[in-house]
Structure 1
Amino acid sequence: MALPVHYNVLLQGVVYSSLNEALARRVHDHGWQVGGRRLKLFTFSRLRGDFRCRSGRLIFYGKIAWTIASPEEEILESLVVHLLRAKVLQIGQAKLELLSVEVPVPPSYRRPICLRALSPITVYSTFETSDGRKKTYYYTPREPEFGRLVLENLRRKIRAWMGEDIPLDGATFRPVRVSNRNLVVARYKDTIIKGWTGIYELDAPESYFRMALDAGLGAKNSQGFGCVEVWAPTKSVSLKEVEAGKR
C-alpha cells in the first residue's frame, strides 16, 4: 500500500465515511460545545506497521494496526458495524483487507501513569504580531506551558463531555522519554503542524486519565493528533533509565 507522507486527512475521511450519515454530520458540524468552542471528541493514531519512504510516498508492507478512540460509544459502535460489514478499509485509493476489529478492555486507573503517544501531541498558542499578522507558536515538551496547556485542554474536554468542571487537584503532565527525534512536522491540508511523540507521565484525577485515552491529548485530535495508550517499561528497563532516555 502506498500513501502520501502526510496522510492524516485521508484517515480522518475514513472515520467520517464509516459513521452513519446523521452521526457524521452531527459530529462534524456541531460536536460538543464549551466556551464558544466546538470539540469533536475523537482521535486516531498513525498507522503502525513496516514501511519505507520512496519518492515522497510511504510504502507499507504486511499487517497494519490503527487505533481510533472516543468517549462517545455511538461513534465507536457505528465504526465497528460499518467496518465489519465492509470487510475492507479504504484509505485514499488503497483498499486493505480488514482482518480484525478489537475493542480493548479499559485499563485500570492509577496515579501517576505513563502514556505513549501513538500520534504526535500538539500544543500551541496563536497571537497577533505588531504588523497585524497571526502567528502560531508550537510549544515543546520542555516548556512548562506544554504540560499546563495539555491539562487545561483536558479540563475543557471534560467540561464539554460531562457538563461539569473537574478540578485539577494538583495534576501534572510531563515528558519522561522525549528527545528531538520525537518531533513530528506534519501537513494537514495546507497547514503545517508540529507535534511530539514519546513517553509522558500523567498524574491527574481519573476523569482526566479517561479523557486522555478517549479523546486524546493536546489540540487537533480529530485531525489525528494526541492519540495515546498506557505504557509501562519492560522489566529490564528501570524508571531511572527511561527518564534518562536510555535503553
Structure 2
Amino acid sequence: MRALIKFEVRSKALLPYNYQHALTALIYRGLGVESAKLATFLHDIGFRKGKKTFKFFTFSPLSFTNYKTTKEGIIVFPGTASFTVSSPLPEFIDYLTSGLWALRNFKIITLPVSIIEIAAIPLRNFTDEELFTLKSPLVLAIKSQEKATPTYLSYVEDKALYKEKLLNNLKNKYLVYYGCEPRIDYFDFAFDERHFQTKLPTRLITYKDQKIRGLCAPFKIKTNPELISLGYYAGFGEKNSMGFGFVE
C-alpha cells in the first residue's frame, strides 16, 4: 500500500538537503501514536530470517510547491509539501496515517508543517516486465571485515555483480515476507543508460553519520511479478527504511 502525505508549510524555513533521517523519525513517531508495539518492533528488531532483517517500508523525497535551492540547503516558502510512504504491510499504512492525523502539527527539522491531506494510492497490478523511475537512490553494497565502511556497488563497473546483488536482495525480502523461496524462472535488470551519457546519476546522501552512495535513474526489470510488487512497495535495494530505493 501507499499513501500520499500532504502538508501546509506554515512559514519560511531553511531545510538541509540531508533530511531523510527526519522523515524516518516522523514515520516511527506516527506509527507509535497508534501502535507503539509495531513502531518499537520495526525500529528495534524488524522482520528477520537468519542474519537478514527488513523493515518493509520506504518513502519518497519531499516535494514542494514553493522553494529555492542554495548552497546551504533548501529554502522552503509558505505553500504545500508532500511525500509518499510505501509498504507491503497493510496495517503499517493504516496505523501511520491515523497517527500522523493525530499529530497534525509538527516540524520536519526546521520546517513547520500541518497535515492537510492523506490520500491512499490505489494498488497496482504488475506484469513480469516493468519500467520504473527511481525517486531516491538505489543502494547496493558489499561489507567486509577488512573495511569499516561498506563498498557501494557501481552498475557501470560490474553489471553482473550489481544484478546478482539486487536479485539476492529481492529473494531475501520475499523469503522473509512470505516465509518461502520465490519461484524465479528468469531475471533481468538494466538501467536506461541514456541517463549515463554526460555523467553517472549517482547521489551521495548523508544519513546521520553515514555517507551512502546510490544510483538514481530509470530502469527496466523482468522477473516474477510478485518480486516486482515487493520491490515496488518495500523498496528496491538496501536501506529502504532510510528512504532509499523508492520508485514510481
**Is contact 1:147–1:173 with CA below 8 Å preserved after alignment?**
yes
Q: Which amino acid aligns with 2:223?
A: A
Provide the secondary structure at the position in 2 that maps to 1:98.
Answer: strand
Task: Choose between structure 1 and 2 for higher RCO, CA contacts under 8 A separated by at least 6 residues.
Answer: 2
SS in 1 for 2:118: coil
Quote the residue 1:234 is aligned against. Answer: none
Q: Give the length in aligned residue pairs.
A: 226
Percentage of pairs with the same residue: 23
In the other structure, the counterpart of 1:225 is: 244
Unmatched runs of 5 consecutive residues or more in structure 2: 1-12
Among candidates 81, 85, 89, match of residue 64 of structure 1: 81
Partner in structure 1 of residue 123 of structure 2: 106
Q: Which residue of 2 aligns with 1:196?
A: 215
Contact residue 30 and residue 103 of structure 2 kept, 8 A: no
The CA deviation at 1:87 is 3.0
Does 1:53 find its partner at 2:62? Answer: no
Match of 1:136 among 150, 153, 163: 150
On the 8 A contact 1:119/1:227 being kept in 2, the answer is yes
- TM superposition shift of 1:119: 1.0
Are positions 1:23 and 2:46 aligned together?
Answer: no
Q: Do the aligned partners of 2:140 and 2:214 also contact (CA within 8 Å) in 1? A: yes
Please say if residues 52 and 172 of structure 2, whose CA atoms lie closer than 8 Å, have aligned partners that are also in contact: no
Query: Would you identify which runs of 4 or more consecutive aligned residues in structure 1 move more than 4 Å?
Result: none
Residue 183 of structure 1 is matched in structure 2 by 202
Q: CA deviation at 1:128?
A: 3.8
Structure 1 residue 141, shift from structure 2 partner: 2.6
Assess, with a 3 A threshold, how the Cα gap between structure 1 residues 28 and 135 changes in structure 2: closer, same or farther.
Answer: closer
Equivalent of residue 158 in structure 1, options 174, 199, 203: 174
Q: 1:37 to 1:111 in 2, by over 3 A?
A: closer
Identify unmatched segments of 5+ residues in structure 1. Answer: 230-247
CA RMSD of aligned residues (A): 1.8
State the AA in 2 paired with 1:90.
K
| Aligned counterparts of 1:147 and 1:59: Cα–Cα separation in 2 | 38
Separation in 1 of the partners of 2:52 and 2:228? 22
- TM-score relative to the length of structure 2: 0.84
Instruction: Spell out, residue by residue over 1:104-151, the C-alpha distance to the aligned partner (whole angstroms, 9 max, x if none).
Output: 11222122110111111111112244xxx4342211232322222112
Matches of 2:103 and 2:29, distance apart in 1: 12
Following the alignment from structure 1 to structure 2, what is the Cα–Cα distance between the partners of residues 68 and 75? Answer: 10
1:33 aligns with 2:45: no
Q: Work out which of the residue numbers 7, 18, 26 in structure 2 matches 1:14.
A: 26
Q: CA deviation at 1:53?
A: 2.8
What is the aligned partner in structure 2 of residue 242 from structure 1?
none
In 1, Cα distance between equivalents of 2:103 and 2:144: 45
Relative to the length of structure 1, the TM-score reads 0.85
Task: Using the TM superposition, give the Cα deviation of residue 175 of structure 1 relative to its aligned residue in structure 2, in angstroms.
Answer: 0.4
Look up the SS of the partner of 1:25 in the other structure: helix
